[in-house]
Amino acid sequence: MKRILLLGLCALTCAAQELRVYAIDVEGGKATLYVAPSGQSMLVDAGYGGSGNRDAGRIVAAAKAAGVTQIDYLVITHYHGDHVGGVPQLAAKMPIRNFVDHGQSFESKGPGGVYGDYLAVRAKGKHIEVKAGDRIPVEGIDVQVVTASGKAMTRPLEGAGQANPLCASYRPIEIDRGENAHSIGLVVTFGKFRVVDLGDLHWNQEYDLACPNNLLGTVDVYMTTHHAKRTSGAPALVQALRAKAAIMNNGPDMGASVPAWQTIHESPGTPDIWQLHYAVLNDNKHNAPGAFIANKGGNCKGYWIKLSARQDGSFTIQNGRTQKEKMYR
């Protein structure tokens, strides 16, 4: 009995000393739950609406597993349906205290659609509009806004700012004037651990963070940008991050493009790639090993990928489907 009590106490104590991150499967959208050691929560995006409350239900399930009863900060990176569409359904299921976004939409001006639905819910809480260089005050972790409304921060993060030789091969692509290019991007730091999460930031805006100097420096985990589509994931940024692992919020046939996948794979140290879905449009060579893939095929159970990070910089990633777990020192 004493052994059981000690193990239970250890589990609670260890969780209290960790930053826990749940990459939630919303079928190719985005919803990532961050739970600080303080117990405060930050949800980055809320997936799709509709589908019988599927995405809101999966977010609530992850929150319950993390011991979270409310969302302290909901960060909406941009106003596309796969990121903001699930907000009304989520708000009906659990309290949302603070709504963080970049302000006015760069696409939708009228009262209807997912943007209008979001504004109606946002009006019931506290609204925080952020710009590059701001911080989101989640107790126990440092959440730095590195890009918002199409503008990147101008000062490098601590330890960053070195000239980036990868910029020599960078080439811009067709300009995006919509919401993707105006995504909120974050760097979350807990002690020596650092994770980057840039929403759907466009290739050309990634340049502003990476060139001519790398303003972000290195990170431990890269949450893939724009579901790892072709229009994001510029090598000049991704490979300069030198991540140990990448978590890909792709769907069965959404994201996980071969060029973006290969860019990560060819990064220094050959980072592990953990995928929320097997990419059915790719061959096996451009999918992670099965133990690193949380869901296979459509009509899945929505398994998440969980990251647990400690102040010394070590972290563990676990696949909810296979229970595959790997520790990074």
> Which pLDDT score, from 0 to 100, does residue 112 have?
78
Note whether 198 and 144 are within 8 A (CB).
no
> Which pLDDT score, from 0 to 100, does residue 298 have?
67
Quote the longest CA-to-CA distance of the chain: 64
Note whether 253 and 226 are within 8 A (CB).
no
Phi, psi of 62 (to 5 degrees): -65, -40
**For residues 12 and 315, what is the distance between their CA atoms, to the nearest angstrom?**
17
Domains of the chain are 19-328 (3.60.15.10)
> Which pLDDT score, from 0 to 100, does residue 110 have?
66
Q: In which residue are the tokens 């918002």 written? A: 148
H or E element, residue 245:
strand 245-248
Instruction: Encode pLDDT of 88-128 as tens digits.
Output: 999 999 999 999 999 999 997 767 799 999 999 999 999 99
- Chain Cα centroid distance, residue 44: 6
Q: Which long-range contacts (CB under 8 A, 24 or more apart) does 289-296 make?
A: 290/322, 291/319, 291/322, 291/324, 292/319, 292/324, 293/319, 293/321, 293/322, 294/25, 294/319, 294/320, 294/321, 294/322, 295/25, 295/252, 295/321, 296/321
DSSP-assigned beta bridge partners for residue 223:
197, 247
**For residues 131 and 153, what is the distance between their CA atoms, to the nearest angstrom?**
8
> Which pLDDT score, from 0 to 100, does residue 12 have?
47
What is the end-to-end Cα distance of the chain in Å, rounded? 33
Note whether 15 and 22 are within 8 A (CB).
no
> Which pLDDT score, from 0 to 100, does residue 77 have?
98
**For residues 113 and 77, what is the distance between their CA atoms, to the nearest angstrom?**
17
Which stretches in the chain have pLDDT values below 50?
Answer: 2-13
Phi, psi of 325 (to 5 degrees): -135, 135
**For residues 296 and 304, what is the distance between their CA atoms, to the nearest angstrom?**
12
Note whether 240 and 257 are within 8 A (CB).
no
Instruction: Encode pLDDT of 186-233 as tens digits.
Output: 999 999 999 999 999 999 999 999 999 999 999 999 999 999 999 999
> Which pLDDT score, from 0 to 100, does residue 53 have?
93
Q: In which residue are the tokens 């059981």 written? A: 4
